[in-house]
Chains A and B, each alone.
Chain A
Amino acid sequence: MATVSLNGIKKTFGKTDVIHGIDVEIEDGEFIVIVGPSGCGKSTLLRMVAGLETVTEGEIRIAGARVNDREPMDRDIAMVFQNYALYPHMSVFDNMAYGLKIAGTPKAEIAERVNEAATLLQLSDYLHRRPRELSGGQRQRVAMGRAIVRKPSVFLFDEPLSNLDAKLRVQMRLEIKQLQRRLGVTSLYVTHDQVEAMTLADRMIVMNGGRADQIGAPLEVYANPQTEFVAGFIGSPPMNFLPSDIEADAPDGARTLGVRPEHLRIASSGTPATVVYSEALGAETLVHVSLPQGGQATVRQDATMPLPAEGTAVHLEWNATDRFFFDADGRRN
């Protein structure tokens, strides 16, 4: 268990700048989720913490000690890869025991720790199998087991659930969260799935093109997004963006008005719009409308509300406190 701090981390591949300077202090036992669209540099950032990529500029500290020049094995970390990266020629037991064997742990202790992890992950019946004889979910668990038996100070996860089907993903998400709570190990978790980020994170780092747009607790980021990008990325369905001149009291410099779908209401007066189509999802309904000024918006409403027919002319309204204004650079103003 340890703190992790990133100070002004930059990464350049040849001539391409991939990470433009990231600062974050991670507390002991915290679960940090790095979230962002594909190609924004999440994996690169994680791999720098792991020691699999060199750090172009800046400093990484684990438990207070600078680790920039340390090899991966000297950083006291464990990593779960997207494709699991299990050793194909070894049994599940040997996969989990590998790190301990190299560390010279006594045989009896290895067996004890592997069995303990296997019980925790419901893998006890599969210890003698090879990875190729396991299902995707089981392989994922072996990868987790391999990480936890070594009792590292930091866990690193690079999209560990993206190869699983939707249902298993939800289940494993819960298991990972519980496991991390129980073990209390500082974790960095990379994902492009904002739902995963919202549910797992103590704090999340929302990345956009190699920058950390916002760092904060999920609900705080949701309630108070600092940039247009974050506002649009976190939340599903995403925030509606309308031209800010729709509002008479828009602040100077504002270009875009953002309102979350659940904050829009169909009412008898307000901004006129036309229903494009409605999606009834059971508990709730999404009504997609188009605006005369151009652009579309989504209204999220309770299933008990009347379902407007396609082509109906309606009016939208929202509370002034639920508005977010963004300037031309996408910053809040």
Chain B
Amino acid sequence: MEKRVTFKGIWLPLLLVLPQLVITAVFFFYPAGQAVYQSLFIPDPFGLSMQWVGLGNFEYLLGNAYYRASFVTTAIFSIAVTVVSMGVALYLAVLADRLIKGSGVYRTLLIWPYAVAPAVAGVLWLFMFNTRVGVITWYLGVLGYDWNHVLNGEEAMGLVVVASAWGRISYNFLFFLAGLQAIPRSVIEAAAIDGARFWTRFRTIVWPLLSPTTFFLLVVNIVYAFFETFGVIHTITGGGPQQATTILVYKVFSDGFVSQDLGSSAAQSVILLVIVGALTILQFKYIERRVHY
């Protein structure tokens, strides 16, 4: 039975939702509106006047090799973060699911990284991989590998991917574990009796039944990699070396705040806004039509 509370007037309900509306307006609608507005202008270097350029900023961006390179970087980065964080999480969840005793301890331990702020996580990884004093760099040196993410773009990318994925593993792990535990034990047992060994069972039963969870996590993780990894990148590489780790969000920041090219930066924000909007629609559409077995 659903219980509905009905209010008589309009004022009380309005008052109750007002704080949320104000927050949304101040921190979302106003900046988003500003971004759309500013993306249509080029301000002069001193910020005293603005010149109307229509879609000029967008035209310039799409023709710009650096911006297009940043798209590719973002794609590589998000796919890598998503694959690494989901892959490791799934592996750990499968192990924890098979565990009967002590799974609570593992679960608790595995949730901790999620509580670490991205920037703090970035600093942690930065220390471990510091080119001079990093403990992992030192061990790699012992093994004969000269780690230097400050100069090597691929190593820099690897590092930010690992640092970003690390914090995500907890979140993905929880969802995967819940997904795995929602699969009836007897179905797995039936498959075992039918002759399927572990890997076959995983491929033909577990993975298909887990697919709603996987899809949900895929979207959530891509959105995360796109937008919430700023702190990690800012602390570890600052987008370098030579823009090797400049993803779209980071470029908004560096073009806007560092290079003071506000028009272009605003246009980039608008593009990101469209991308996140599209991802959100995709996600909601999917969740609404989610397959219920």
Q: Give A residues with C-beta under 8 Å from B.
A: 50-52, 71-73, 77-79, 81-83, 85-89, 98-99, 102-103, 130, 132, 146, 150
Contacts and interface: CB of A to CB of B under 8 A. Distances in A.
B146 interface: no
A282 B280 CA distance: 67
B197 A73 contact: yes
A192 B200 CA distance: 34
A78 B187 contact: no
Contacts of A51: 193
A85 B186 contact: yes
A132 B292 CA distance: 9
A73 B194 contact: yes
B195 interface: yes
A72 B186 contact: no
Nearest to A103: B195
The residue in B184, B190, B197, B204 that gathers the most chain A C-beta atoms within 10 A of its C-beta is: B190
User: Do most interface residues of chain B lie in helix, strand or loop, or is the interface mixed?
Assistant: helix
B293 interface: yes
Given A89-B293, A98-B191, A83 B196 contact: no
Interface string B178-211: 0000001011011111111100100011001100
Contact of B194 (A52, A102, A130): A102
Given A73-B197, A102-B200, A132-B293, A87 B187 contact: yes
Given A71-B197, A79-B193, A86-B187, 18 more contacts: A52-B189, A71-B192, A72-B193, A73-B192, A78-B193, A81-B186, A81-B190, A82-B186, A83-B184, A85-B184, A85-B186, A85-B187, A85-B190, A98-B191, A99-B194, A130-B293, A132-B293, A150-B194
Contacts of A146: 190, 194
The residue in A50, A73, A77 that gathers the most chain B C-beta atoms within 10 A of its C-beta is: A73
Contact of A72 (B184, B189, B200): B189
Contacts of A82: 186
B186 A87 contact: no
A98 B194 contact: yes
9 contacts: A50-B193, A51-B193, A73-B194, A79-B189, A85-B184, A87-B205, A88-B187, A88-B293, A98-B194
A83 B183 CA distance: 13
A82 B190 CA distance: 11
Given A73-B197, A102-B200, A132-B293, A87 B191 contact: yes
Contact of A99 (B195, B208, B292, B293): B195
B290 to A, nearest CB: 13
A86 B189 CA distance: 11
B195 A79 contact: no
Contacts of B293: 88-89, 130, 132
B195 A52 contact: no
The residue in A50, A52, A150 that gathers the most chain B C-beta atoms within 10 A of its C-beta is: A52
Contacts of A130: 293
A78 B190 CA distance: 8
A98 B193 CA distance: 11
Nearest to B198: A71
Interface in B253-293: 292-293
Nearest to B197: A73
Contacts of B194: 73, 78, 98-99, 102, 146, 150
A37 to B, nearest CB: 22
